[in-house]
Chain A
Amino acid sequence: MREEIKAHITGVVFQITAKPGDTVAAGDPVIVLESMKMEIPVEAPRAGAVKEIRVVEGQTVQEGDTLAILE
């Protein structure tokens, strides 16, 4: 089942911690955002494989933006 992983809050992509093809468990960080001067992990909502990463490091994202796709 395809699922979009979205930003909860505005921030800058500080680090991308998973790449397409990686298997992740529920709660694993996929992207780390820097928001309000802190690192905020954006976690996989469930176990699955990362299909696509939609952002690059340094990119500014807003709440609700799709960051990655999980399968």
Chain B
Amino acid sequence: MAQTDEKSGGVTAVRAEKLRRLVERIFTAAGVPAADAATVAEVLVEADLRGVESHGATRVAGYVSMIRTGLLNPKPGVEVVRDLPSTAMLEGDQAFGIVVAKRAMEMAIDKARRAGIAAVTARNVTHTGMIGFYTMMAARAGMIGLAMNNGPAILPPFGGKTPTMATNPFSVAFPAAREQPIVLDMATSIVAGGKLRLAAKKGLPIPGGWALDRHGVPTTDPSEAIFHGFLQWAGGYKGFGLATMVEVLGGVLSGGLFGRDVPPMKDFGKDPLVTSAFYLAINIENFMPLAEFGARVDRLIEHVKSSERAKGTDEIFVAGEIEFRKKAQRLQGGIPLSDVVHRELQGLAAEYGVPFDL
């Protein structure tokens, strides 16, 4: 089922379950314990299903390379360094961020069932994937979930030009009753770096609000931004303020690396990709019956959706709605896997001698 994709040339529609099993086989063959390989495959394919391809199977080759170069510990000694009734701290030992994140949110949910609210930090892990996955775990458990992650310094503080923080994403999820949960999952930068690369490849200028040049001045030249400049914060100083919150809760409170102490991305390969994170679960039943909360969220969604539409707008969406819709489509019609990722997975399957059936 080959199609054409504007980003990468060809795409192949693949069944989510087949992709998940292939990714699991590759990681298992690369030395990852079976349960962890299954978790990583599940989270990556969920991102592809939701249309967040940047955090999907495209990451497999990078993760495998990190294992082979010793930058990711496939058999880590993850340690619970503090464990109290409503909090815990995990030391990640350069584990898959995905595996530790899932464990951290499971701990937060479990503790919140008893304590009403619980927070778990996780430090010194690698890439954590689509963090909305973990907040949706809380929503499925009838809780409000919050997750945030710091990482390598890429963006300067507002008004500066020394990279100091990552694109510091956070996610929050609220369960509804009839409706799908509200799931906000956003970086605090205005766009992803991939959008600059796409514009550079096409030779197109970028909007003035996306990036800064080497002097810290807004630029429309994607190449200048990629090679010498920086992404801009979402909402200027407001995005920078939100990124600071993420940096403190994810990096400072966790006891992990933060700010310019995190190895920079430009040295990735020589240095590991290090992130630290914060996970929070709030038990809604401590405030009101879950059914009542769900009905109230449904009512809020109804208010949003029934807003009079701005000129040129066909539909108004709540956070996460587009992704749920995309997932439903892709469970039916398959995930459009780019030729590049298809080739990478085929190559890895051959290298590790596992069946390739996409």
Contact present for A32 and B344 (CB under 8 Å): no
Which of A8, A11, A37, A62 is within 8 Å of B270, CB to CB? A8
Contact present for B343 and A40 (CB under 8 Å): no
- What's the Cα separation between A33 and B344 when bound, in Å? 15
Contact present for B197 and A14 (CB under 8 Å): yes
Q: Is A66 an interface residue (CB 8 A)?
A: no
* Given A8-B69, A10-B62, A63-B68: A37 touches B194 (CB 8 Å cut-off): yes
Q: Quick one: closest A residue to B126, CB to CB?
A: A36
- What's the Cα separation between A15 and B227 when bound, in Å? 10
Which of B71, B127, B226, B347 is within 8 Å of A39, CB to CB? B226
**Per-position binary interface string of chain A over residues 1-43, scored 1 when its CB falls under 8 Å from any chain B CB and 0 otherwise:** 0000001111110110000000000000000111111111100
Closest Cβ of chain B to A50, distance in Å, is 18
Q: Which residues of A contact B68 (CB under 8 A)?
A: 63
Q: Is B4 an interface residue (CB 8 A)?
A: no
Contact present for A9 and B192 (CB under 8 Å): no
Q: Which residues of A contact B226 (CB under 8 A)?
A: 39
**Per-position binary interface string of chain B over residues 301-345, scored 1 when its CB falls under 8 Å from any chain A CB and 0 otherwise:** 000000000000000000000000000000000000000100110
Q: Which residues of B contact A38 (CB under 8 A)?
A: 154, 193, 265, 268
Closest Cβ of chain A to B194, distance in Å, is 6
Q: Quick one: closest B residue to A58, CB to CB?
A: B340
Q: Is B54 an interface residue (CB 8 A)?
A: yes
- What's the Cα separation between A37 and B52 when bound, in Å? 13
Which of A11, A32, A37 is within 8 Å of B54, CB to CB? A37
- What's the Cα separation between A9 and B271 when bound, in Å? 10
Contact present for A63 and B269 (CB under 8 Å): yes
Q: List 27 A-B contacts (CB under 8 A).
A: A7-B269, A8-B69, A8-B268, A9-B66, A9-B268, A10-B65, A11-B62, A11-B65, A14-B197, A33-B269, A34-B197, A35-B269, A36-B62, A36-B127, A36-B273, A37-B54, A37-B192, A37-B193, A38-B154, A38-B268, A39-B227, A40-B269, A60-B61, A60-B340, A60-B343, A60-B347, A62-B65
CB-based closest 9 A-B pairs: A8-B269, A9-B269, A10-B65, A36-B62, A38-B265, A10-B61, A9-B65, A63-B69, A63-B65
